[in-house]
Structures are given as C-alpha cells and as structure tokens.
Amino acid sequence: MRIVLSRSTPDDHYASWLKRLYPHIELAEAYSAGTGSLDNVLQQCSGILLTGGADVNPARYGKAEEAPRCQGVDEKRDQVELGLVEIALERKLPLLAICRGIQIINVFFNGSLIIDIAEDYGIIVEHKNQTDVCHSITLAKNSNLYHCGKTDKTIVNSSHHQAIGALGKDLTPVARSDDNLIEAVELIPRCSHPFFLGVQWHPERMEFRHPMSEGIGRSFILSAMQYDTTSPH
C-alpha cells in the first residue's frame, strides 16, 4: 500500500508516524516528482496526505496585497497540493490534510484564510509560539472525526499563525477551538467520499496513543487499505 505525501522527507515526523501505524507502508513524495513521475506514483497510490508547512499564496483567495505578511509562499507547492485535492476528489482517494493542508483544502473550495491570527483575530487562545502550544477543541458528535477519536472535547497541539476565515463551499466544520476558530473540516454529507479530513493540529507530533493522533491515523490507514483492495490501479 502506497501513501503519497505532498511534501516530506524519508525520516520526518509524517513518515515515522505513518510507518508506526502500518510498518509495511510505502511512501512517495509529490513535490519532488516531475509531472510524468507524479502521474505514475498517483496511479498506484491508496491515499494522500497533505503535510504542514509555509503559507498559501494569499493571491489564491483574493488577498494578494497581504503577501508581505505571509511566510515562505511557494507557488509550486500550492499548485501541487491543489492538484492532489482535485485528484483525491475525482478518484475517491482517502485524503488527510494537516495544518497547512486544511488551509489548502479551504482555498481549493474557494474559502479564505485569516492572514495572522494574533493580529487579525485575537489572542484569547494561543495558537503559535516558538514551539508547539496546546489548547482544547470541541468536536461535532455527528462527525467522522468524532468516531475516529471517540471524544467530543480534548487537548491538541498547535503551531499555526493562519487559520480558516470564510469557510469553503462543500466543507463543514467538525471541530473548533475555544475562540471559535475552525480546527477541523470534512466534506458536507452530500459529497460522498471514503475519507476526507483536514485538521489544524499536528497528529504526527502528538503522543501516539492520543485519540486525535492514533485514532485519526488508523482511520486514514484503514480507509487507504480498503481502497487498495477494491480499486483498480
């Protein structure tokens, strides 16, 4: 079974987390692949993981003038990841999006981002510091995310200065922080998909047995395994 990561290295937290969940997993990276190579990799993959990283180009959601307040904008990465979301939807590939990943999903569905939480939204809840911070989230009980972790309120790690602003079409919020920022999204019920989840925290950097780490990871892997056995490649 192969999972394609949008951008990763063989020994980073994402790879280690996935290999702990399923030791026999094969991993491939989309960012470094050429167009032909990426097409070939995607033909054989069973799931997609959008990893964390730098900010999405604000021009993609109508805020080009805010570029000086963004960090590490990478046009190639934006293009690669928006393409991966489209492929996941077209092929019904299980998709898990982490931190930047949830933001690129929201932009894909024509939503917008808060450029800087502290400056533009407030500091009731601390979402970023020099290292991971922690805060509580509340989950929607009717969500797939709730069934992954079997809890409606928990503590997660946090390391992001941007967040979802206007929610994208066809997305529904399934977790929020205490300051009401969206912390997780799924597709609305009419958009049938085996697994499509974006989370603002970093499950790959949390204590492994935490329900918002292991629970999410195992649900994603199980969905990818089912795709692997039922879909032609």
pLDDT tens-place values along the chain, 233 residues long: 999 999 999 889 999 999 999 999 999 999 998 767 778 888 889 999 999 999 999 999 999 999 999 999 999 999 999 999 999 999 999 999 999 999 999 999 999 999 999 999 999 999 999 888 999 999 999 999 999 999 999 999 999 999 999 999 999 999 999 999 999 999 998 899 999 999 999 999 999 999 999 999 999 999 999 998 766 55
Note the pLDDT of residue 231. 60
Q: Which of 29, 183, 186, 204 does the annotation list as catalytic?
A: 204
Query: Residue 130: which residues within 8 A CB-CB, separation 6 or more?
Result: none
Predicted TM-score (pTM) of this structure: 0.96
C-alpha span between 37 and 226 (Å, rounded): 24
99 flagged as catalytic: yes
204 flagged as catalytic: yes
Residue 40, SS3 per DSSP:
helix
Note the pLDDT of residue 228. 82
Q: Which of 70, 99, 135, 214 does the annotation list as catalytic?
A: 99
Q: Which CATH architecture has domain 2-230?
A: 3-Layer(aba) Sandwich (3.40)
C-alpha span between 107 and 116 (Å, rounded): 16
Dihedral (CA of 48, 223, 158, 108) sign: positive
Give 3-state DSSP helix, strand, coil % of the chain, rounded to 5: 35, 20, 40
C-alpha span between 176 and 184 (Å, rounded): 7
Note the pLDDT of residue 147. 95
**168 is written with which tokens?**
């994208």
Q: Which of 127, 160, 202, 210 does the annotation list as catalytic?
A: 202
C-alpha span between 19 and 116 (Å, rounded): 34
